[in-house]
Amino acid sequence: MKTFRRRFVALSLLALGASVAMGASGAFAQTFFERLFGGPRYERYNDMRDRGQYQWRGPYNGRGYGDAPPVQERAPTPRPMVKISGPTYRPYKADPLVRVDFTPVIDAPHETTFQPSLQASGFADARSALAGFDLYATKDVAKALNDYYSQHPDFIWVSGFGPNSRAEEAIRVLGDAASYGLNPADYAVTVPSTSFSFDDTAGRMRDLVRFEVELSARVLRYVHDAYDGRVVPDRMSEYYDLPVKPLDMAAVLGDLSHTFEVRQYLEAKHPQAPQYQQLRTELAALRGSGEDDIVVVRPDFLLKPGGSDPDFPKVLKLISRKADDAFKTEYGTLLQDNASNETYSQDLVPLIKAAQKAHGLSPDGVIGPRTVKVLAGETNDAKIAKVTLALEEMRWLPHTLGDAYVFINEPAYRVTFTKGGQQLLSMRAVVGRPTNQTTFFYDQIEEVVFNPYWGVPQSIIVNEMLPRLVNDPGYLDRAGYEVTDMKGNRIPSAAIDWGRYGTHIPYNVRQIPSDDNALGELKILFPNKHAIYMHDTPAKSLFNKDMRAFSHGCVRLQQPRDMAAAVLDTSVEAIAAKLKQGHSSEKVPVKIPVYVAYFTAWPDADGKIRYYDDVYGRDARLTEAMQKTDAARTPVSEEVSGAIQKADSAPLPKL
């Protein structure tokens, strides 16, 4: 026995001395003892919450007691910390214009499948004039023109020797494009003069056949813009995930050739949701009104009850200007009596709180920069810009939003549930931080999960947990998380060398259901590649803030039980009973569209347009994309286009 003890002490001192002399980590020394005495022994704490915590006691392999998993040796030189980066924004590239080559139309045989007519013969005889016609369009429009007219060599917009009523109606609709937030210059058409000589019918037919294809090209551009928008949002960033709606342009020309209800047909290509019309109405009102007198309150204004400030009367003026009839009925006299008062007296506190609440702010009675900014509102020009962008963004969504749907407006930090044209729910929400933006997309709600696990995304493991795990590998064991390998085997967090994998962590981490779970008591799923969903949260205090961009990208709900009851078509009481049953899930009876959207101008339940801060800076990027679209649509001659391309490809001069 003495001999064994001497050997034990000697080996222990040898191991300790080696670890100090070599600068070895604690893990290295630990591994040495494990080789001597057979590896680590773990035991899970058996508390009521089953939080997956471990201590050095007894063999445990994550599923039961037995051989513990081998501890991997720490890399002597840990890899430098790396990050998983999110989506980025890219310079927008608009669709270029090409000169339409009408060779397929010119060379098409005269014989057609329809009954020949005088007009068809006139088109066929005049189409050779298209050979020298400089008409520029996007590739899809150019293809549609050739596809249609090579199969149907006849006029749509011409009767006899002039434009017909169908053409006149189309031109009026194109001329009204600005009322939809579109650029009328994009759809301008050169209309043949009404005066001509019958001695030059060939010249007249040349002008008419060119007018025919030009009007068709501009109508197709209009239909495309009304139906899908002028900008392809996904080209700006992966923060957009909005599919382009399919559009058969040649079929559009076929439809127009058989109808005289041109206005009705073209207007039907725009979104049909009531919010689109409400935004149009707001745009018309803004353009028809003059700029309000500007009331300037200094940006650092801060006033609490009992304080005084010379700008306080300006604040009261802003409140009075924006007050509706109900507000004026209750507080009009108080506003009038204190119009020039620089002291914020206690009797004005209910007025200020009511004004804050009416504008979607936290009614704390403190007048700070945000309250002043919201009360001052946007300038007329700024409102017009936001409404114009909102109209464009609506064109990216489905034609109608649906009978029942959930709408998440990120800049408003608000989620609503609408059914049968009535907004039944409206609640505050927390959305992604500017560094973890919530994507703009739409999907369908499929399932509600009660007392959920939280599967921690790899980006959070790498970017936020990893620095701590490198120095404290057992952190997850103590904090209520479960770790599994790629085969689903439970692994103690302390048994993993977290610093050796970089951004490719070969383990899954999930937080077990509990009061501290990041998802709270339930989550509402609409499976998507962005791993975004709606859920509860234990951080309730964030809903009291006016700016609520704090999440990693998911949407936290102020009233999750109400939303769960709405999508499951049940009662809040039924949701409460379900929560008492532990972890479970339930499919929604009917899939419900959900729009995770970004609108800095959007109508409320009463149709009044509200304006919001551009929290992610996307309005500026969309404005730039629209400007690039305008520039790309400016027609140029082949000579100028060639010169531009030559200049772009030429080497830069040496300075």
Query: What DSSP line would sit under 310-342, residue for residue?
Result: TTHHHHHHHHHHH--HHHHHHHHHHHHHTTT--
Who's near 262: CB < 8 A, 6+ residues apart?
Answer: 166, 169, 170, 173, 256
In a 10 Å sphere around its CB, with 0-12 CB exposed, 13-18 middle and 19+ buried, how is residue 409 labelled? buried
Residue among 155, 152, 153, 172 nearest 163 (CA): 155
Cα angle: 154, vertex 157, 158; to 5 degrees: 75
Q: Tell me the C-alpha distance between 521 and 540, whole Å.
A: 12
Q: Which two tokens stand for residue 444?
A: 């369908």
Directed axis angle between helix 312-322 and helix 349-358, to 10°? 50
Q: State residue 521's pLDDT score.
A: 97
What local confidence, expressed as pLDDT, does residue 290 receive? 67
Question: Band of the pLDDT at 655, cuts 50, 70, 90?
Answer: very low
* Tokens at 403, concatenated: 């009978």
160 or 443, greater pLDDT? 443
Give the pLDDT of residue 58: 37
The runs of H, that is alpha helices, within 483-605 are 560-567, 572-579
Cα–Cα separations (whole angstroms), residue 455 to 503, 526, 561 = 17, 15, 21
pLDDT of residue 81: 64
Report pTM. 0.78
Higher-scoring residue by pLDDT: 154, 86? 154
Would you place residue 48 in the very low, low, confident or very high pLDDT band (cuts 50, 70, 90)? very low
CATH number of this structure's domain 394-619: 2.40.440.10
- Distance from the first to the final alpha carbon of the chain: 87
CA distance 177 to 556: 39
pLDDT at 85: 76
* Higher-pLDDT residue of 631, 38: 631
Each residue's pLDDT tens digit, 594-643: 999 999 999 999 999 999 999 999 999 999 999 999 999 986 544 444 44
Which residues touch 419 (CB under 8 Å, ≥6 apart)? 403, 404, 566
Per-residue pLDDT averaged across 17-22, rounded?
A: 44
Tell me the β-bridge partners of 418.
405, 423
pLDDT in tens, 148-164: 999 999 999 999 889 99
Choose from 309-313, 583-587, 633-637 the range with maximum mean pLDDT: 583-587
pLDDT at 15: 44
Distance, CA of 338 to CA of 317 (rounded, Å):
10
Q: What's the whole-number average pLDDT of the chain?
A: 85
Determine the pLDDT at residue 112. Answer: 46
Burial group, residue 110, by CB count within 10 angstroms (0-12, 13-18, 19+): exposed
Contact between residue 510 and residue 454 where contact means Cβ atoms under 8 Å apart? yes
Region at 9 (left for phi over 0; alpha for psi -120 to 50; beta for the rest): alpha
Please work out, in degrees rounded to the nearest 5, the angle formed at the alpha carbon of residue 513 by the alpha carbons of 507 and 514: 125
Burial of 451 (0-12, 13-18, 19+ CB in 10 A): buried
**Angstrom distance (rounded) from CA 140 to CA 156:** 19
Task: Scan for tokens 């996307």, then name that residue.
Answer: 618
Cα-Cα-Cα-Cα dihedral sign, residues 391, 394, 396, 400: negative
Lowest mean pLDDT among 220-229, 474-483, 620-629: 474-483
For residue 586, the cross-strand partners are 448
- Percent of the chain whose predicted confidence (pLDDT) is above 90: 64
Per-residue pLDDT of 237-291, as tens digits, reads 999 999 999 999 999 999 999 999 999 999 999 999 999 999 999 999 999 986 6
Report the pLDDT value the prediction gives residue 324, as an integer from 0 to 100.
Answer: 86
Question: SS3 for 597?
Answer: strand
Neighbouring residues of 210: CB distance < 8 A, sequence distance ≥ 6: 129, 130, 133, 135
According to DSSP, the residues that pair with 422 across neighbouring strands are 419
Task: Tell me how far apart the 2 most distant CA atoms of the chain are, in Å.
Answer: 129
Partnered with residue 84 across adjacent β-strands are none
Residue 584: CB atoms within 10 A of its CB come to 12
Q: Residue 368 in contact with residue 274, Cβ under 8 Å?
A: no
Helix, strand, coil share (%) of the chain residues, nearest 5: 45, 15, 40
Q: Where are the domains of the chain?
A: 98-270, 312-378, 394-619
CB–CB of 19/29 below 8 Å?
A: yes
pLDDT (mean) for 557-586: 97
Banded pLDDT at 352 (limits 50, 70, 90): very high
